[in-house]
């Protein structure tokens, strides 16, 4: 099973809302990632979790808050977002290190 699942598929939220994105993998991977992708651009790394610990934060604004409750789950909590945060948010996982990442289908986020 090489599947990474993400929910919801689509999300529309106002600038005062609080919402969460969820990601799950059951491949026993030890590294999990959040990426942001704008239209016609490659994915941009936001956070890396390694063995359930946050190892990389790419200077992401605090309105994005990641959480790794266990080795299979990764959440991204959203609060007070701006319209420019509208994008496709991708979760990925890998066995160890950054090599061979498996991506979920993404959450299309629109901030109004």
Partner 1 sequence: TQLLEQSPQFLSIQEGENLTVYCNSSSVFSSLQWYRQEPGEGPVLLVTVVTGGEVKKLKRLTFQFGDARKDSSLHITAAQTGDTGLYLCAGEGGNEKLTFGTGTRLTIIP
Is residue 101 within the footprint of partner 1 (CB under 8 A)? yes
Is residue 111 within the footprint of partner 1 (CB under 8 A)? no
What does the DSSP assignment read for the chain? Answer: ---EEEE-SEEEE-TT-EEEEEEEE-S--SEEEEEEE-TTS--EEEEEEETTEEEEE-S--TTEEEEEEETTEEEEEEES--GGG-EEEEEEEESSSSSS-EE---EEEEE-
In the shown chain, the binding pattern of residues 48 to 87 toward partner 1, with x for contact by CB under 8 A and - for none, equals x-x----xx-------------------------------
**Residue 52 CB: number of other CB atoms within 10 A?**
14
Stretch that binds partner 1, among 11-19, 66-74, 76-84, 88-96 (CB under 8 A): 88-96
Give the Cα separation of 3 and 91 in Å (integer).
11
Among 31, 46, 76, 111, binds partner 1 (CB under 8 A): 31
Nearer to partner 1, 50 or 80 (CB): 50
Is residue 108 within the footprint of partner 1 (CB under 8 A)? yes
Residues near partner 1, by CB under 8 A: 4, 6, 31, 40-43, 45, 48, 50, 55-56, 88, 90, 92, 97-106, 108
């Amino acid at each position: 099973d090489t599947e990474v699942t993400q929910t919801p598929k689509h999300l529309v939220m106002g600038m005062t809302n609080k919402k969460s994105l969820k990601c799950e993998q059951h491949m026993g991977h030890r590294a999990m990632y959040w990426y942001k992708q704008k239209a016609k651009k490659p994915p941009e790394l936001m956070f890396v979790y390694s063995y359930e610990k946050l190892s990389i934060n790419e200077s992401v604004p605090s309105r994005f808050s990641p959480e790794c409750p266990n080795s299979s789950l990764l959440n991204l909590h959203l609060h007070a977002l701006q319209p420019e945060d509208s994008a496709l948010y991708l979760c990925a996982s890998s066995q160890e290190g950054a090599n061979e990442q498996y991506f979920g289908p993404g959450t299309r986020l629109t901030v109004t």
